[in-house]
Amino acid sequence: MIQKKLDALAQMMDECRAMPFPRGFRGLDVEDQDMVMLDADTAGYVSRVLKGPLPKPSREGLIRLVGVLEKVLPAISDKYAIKYYTHARDVAVLAAEIEVMRDR
């Protein structure tokens, strides 16, 4: 079961990497969050989850990241950026789910 989720996570991350970064979002803060850093943090956590279990502080950081993505999404008005960051949120949520499964 966990391997299927890891495979899905890898595929979703590949899709994320194939999407161009939203125009006008470099250097932009939304809800006091740097949008480039959110993107980079998502990629960093996901790549680490794909390599193996996260240590507790990183798991907590991943959970915080999901919350931040949830917070910024309603404040984004650009349709493409909404799609982009919704996908990033979905990838982060799946990564967090995998980490919960690893605890079992």
Q: What residue spans define the domains of the chain?
A: 2-21+30-103
CA atoms within 13 A on the CB side of 55: 1
H/E stretch holding 34 reads strand 33-34
- Give per-residue pLDDT as tens, 24-37: 999 999 999 999 99
Residue carrying the six token digits 């996570």 = 9
Q: What angle do CA 74, 18, 13 make, to 5 degrees?
A: 70
- Give per-residue pLDDT as tens, 73-104: 999 999 999 999 999 999 999 999 999 999 87
